[in-house]
Chain A
Amino acid sequence: MKMFRIKGGIHPDERKDLAAGKAIETVPLPSLLRIPLQQHIGAPAVTVVEKGDEVKKGQLLASARGPVSAAIHAPTSGRISAIGRFVAPHPSGLPGQTITMRPDGKDEWGELPAPIDDPFSVGPDIIAERVAASGIVGMGGATFPSAVKLGLRNRNKLETLVINAAECEPYLTCDDRMMRERSEAVIDGIRILRHALGVERAIIAIEGNKPEALAALKAVCSANQFKDVLIARVPTRYPMGSEKHLVQTLTGKETPARALTADIGVVVHNVATCYAIREAVRFGRPLISRVVTVSGGAMARTGNFEVPIGTPISHLIDHCGGFNKEPDRLLLGGPMMGQPISSTRTSVVKGSNGVLALGPDETPARQTMPCIRCASCVSACPCGLTPFEMAGHIRKEELDAAVKIGLLDCIACGSCAWVCPASIPLVQYFNYAKGKLTAQQRAKHKQEETKRLTQFREERMERQKKAKQEAMARMKAEREAKKKADAEKKRAKQETIGA
Chain B
Amino acid sequence: MNALVGGPHAHSGNSISRTMVLVLVALMPATLFGFYEFGWPAVFLFLVTVAAAIAAESFSLALAGKPQKPFLLDGSAVVTGWIIAMTLPPWAPWWIGVVGSFIAIVLAKHAFGGLGQNVFNPAMIARTVLLISFPIEMTQFLTPQPMFTGSSPGFLEGLEITFAGHTAFDAVSSASLLGAIKTQLGLGVPVNEVVGGSLSLTAMALGIVPGSMGETSAVAILLGGILLLATRTITWHAPVAMIVTMAVLAGLFQAIDPGRYPGPAIHLVSGTFLFAAFFIATDYVTAPATGMGKLIFGAGVAALTFIIRTWASYPEGIGFAILLMNAAVPLIDHYVRPRIYGRTRSGEPIRYEET
Is A382's CB under 8 angstroms from B341's CB?
yes
B135 at the interface (CB under 8 A from A): no
| B-chain residues with CB within 8 Å of residue A383 when the two chains form the complex | 340-342
Is A428's CB under 8 angstroms from B6's CB?
yes
A contacts with B, residue count (CB < 8 A): 77
- Contact bitstring A91-117, B, C-beta under 8 A = 1, else 0: 101000000000000000000000000
Partner of B9, one of A244, A262, A335, A371: A335
- Tell which of B159-167, B191-199, B257-265, B282-290 binds the partner: B282-290
Is B340's CB under 8 angstroms from A384's CB?
yes
Tell me how far the C-beta of B103 lies from the nearest C-beta in chain A, rounded to whole angstroms. Answer: 21
Residues in A347-374 with C-beta less than 8 Å from chain B: 356, 358, 362-364, 366-367, 369-374
Is B10's CB under 8 angstroms from A156's CB?
no
| B-chain residues with CB within 8 Å of residue A381 when the two chains form the complex | 338
- Contact bitstring B215-236, A, C-beta under 8 A = 1, else 0: 0000000000000000000010
Is A12's CB under 8 angstroms from B341's CB?
no
Q: How far is the CA of A415 from the CA of B200 in the complex (A)?
A: 50
A414-B1 CB under 8 A given contacts A10-B12, A372-B285, A385-B338: no
Is B74's CB under 8 angstroms from A369's CB?
yes
A13-B15 CB under 8 A given contacts A369-B74, A369-B115, A409-B340: no
- Contact bitstring B1-40, A, C-beta under 8 A = 1, else 0: 1111111111111111011000000000000000000000
Is B10's CB under 8 angstroms from A388's CB?
no
B114 at the interface (CB under 8 A from A): yes
Residues in B337-355 with C-beta less than 8 Å from chain A: 337-343, 349-352, 354-355
Chain B residue at smallest Cβ distance from A337? B7
Q: How far is the CA of A358 from the CA of B7 in the complex (A)?
A: 13
Task: Name, among A264, A335, A372, the residue most crowded by chain B CB atoms within 10 Å (CB to CB).
Answer: A372
A400 at the interface (CB under 8 A from B): no
Chain A residue at smallest Cβ distance from B67? A367
B68 at the interface (CB under 8 A from A): no
| B-chain residues with CB within 8 Å of residue A156 when the two chains form the complex | 355
A336 at the interface (CB under 8 A from B): yes
Q: How many A-B residue pairs lie within 8 Å, measured between CB atoms?
A: 176
Is B115's CB under 8 angstroms from A372's CB?
yes
Chain A residue at smallest Cβ distance from B234? A374
Interface residues on B, range: 35 or more
| A-chain residues with CB within 8 Å of residue B342 when the two chains form the complex | 244, 254-259, 383, 409
Is A12's CB under 8 angstroms from B16's CB?
no
Q: How far is the CA of A356 from the CA of B8 in the complex (A)?
A: 13
| B-chain residues with CB within 8 Å of residue A257 when the two chains form the complex | 340-343, 349-350
Is B1's CB under 8 angstroms from A244's CB?
no
Is B115's CB under 8 angstroms from A384's CB?
no
B173 at the interface (CB under 8 A from A): no
| A-chain residues with CB within 8 Å of residue B184 when the two chains form the complex | none
- Contact bitstring B302-342, A, C-beta under 8 A = 1, else 0: 00000000000000000000000000000001000111111
A32 at the interface (CB under 8 A from B): no
Q: How far is the CA of A369 from the CA of B340 in the complex (A)?
A: 27
Q: How far is the CA of A371 from the CA of B338 in the complex (A)?
A: 19
Tell me how far the C-beta of A415 lies from the nearest C-beta in chain B, rounded to whole angstroms. Answer: 8
Is A264's CB under 8 angstroms from B352's CB?
yes
Q: How far is the CA of A339 from the CA of B295 in the complex (A)?
A: 40
Is B9's CB under 8 angstroms from A421's CB?
no
Q: How far is the CA of A139 from the CA of B135 in the complex (A)?
A: 70
Is B290's CB under 8 angstroms from A340's CB?
no
| A-chain residues with CB within 8 Å of residue B8 when the two chains form the complex | 335-337, 414, 417-418, 427
| A-chain residues with CB within 8 Å of residue B9 when the two chains form the complex | 329, 331, 335-336, 338, 340, 356, 358, 363-364
| A-chain residues with CB within 8 Å of residue B333 when the two chains form the complex | 389
Tell me how far the C-beta of B345 lies from the nearest C-beta in chain A, rounded to whole angstroms. Answer: 10
Partner of B6, one of A10, A13, A93, A425: A425
B150 at the interface (CB under 8 A from A): no
| B-chain residues with CB within 8 Å of residue A423 when the two chains form the complex | 11, 15
Residues in A1-45 with C-beta less than 8 Å from chain B: 7, 10, 12-13
B188 at the interface (CB under 8 A from A): no
A369-B12 CB under 8 A given contacts A244-B342, A256-B349, A257-B343: no
Task: Name, among A256, A263, A378, A388, the residue most crowded by chain B CB atoms within 10 Å (CB to CB).
Answer: A256
Is B6's CB under 8 angstroms from A431's CB?
yes
Partner of B7, one of A159, A342, A389, A414: A414
Is B341's CB under 8 angstroms from A336's CB?
no
Tell me how far the C-beta of A56 lies from the nearest C-beta in chain B, rounded to whole angstroms. Answer: 36
A327-B341 CB under 8 A given contacts A366-B11, A372-B116: no
User: Hey, which bits of chain A sit against chain B, CB under 8 A?
Assistant: 7, 10, 12-13, 91, 93, 156-159, 170, 244, 253-259, 262-265, 326-331, 335-342, 356, 358, 362-364, 366-367, 369-376, 378-379, 381-386, 388-389, 405-406, 409, 414, 417-423, 425, 427-428, 431
User: Hey, which bits of chain B sit against chain A, CB under 8 A?
Assistant: 1-16, 18-19, 70-71, 74, 76, 114-117, 235, 284-285, 287, 289-290, 333, 337-343, 349-352, 354-355
Known: A256-B343, A256-B351, A406-B340. 4 other contacts (CB 8 A): A255-B352, A329-B1, A382-B341, A421-B19
A sample of 26 inter-chain contacts (CB < 8 A) reads: A156-B355, A255-B352, A256-B343, A256-B349, A256-B351, A257-B341, A258-B349, A259-B349, A262-B355, A265-B355, A328-B2, A329-B3, A331-B9, A335-B9, A335-B10, A340-B9, A342-B4, A363-B10, A372-B76, A376-B14, A382-B341, A383-B342, A384-B339, A384-B343, A418-B10, A420-B14
* Top-10 shortest CB links A-B: A414-B8, A364-B11, A257-B342, A428-B6, A257-B349, A335-B9, A383-B341, A157-B355, A335-B10, A384-B338
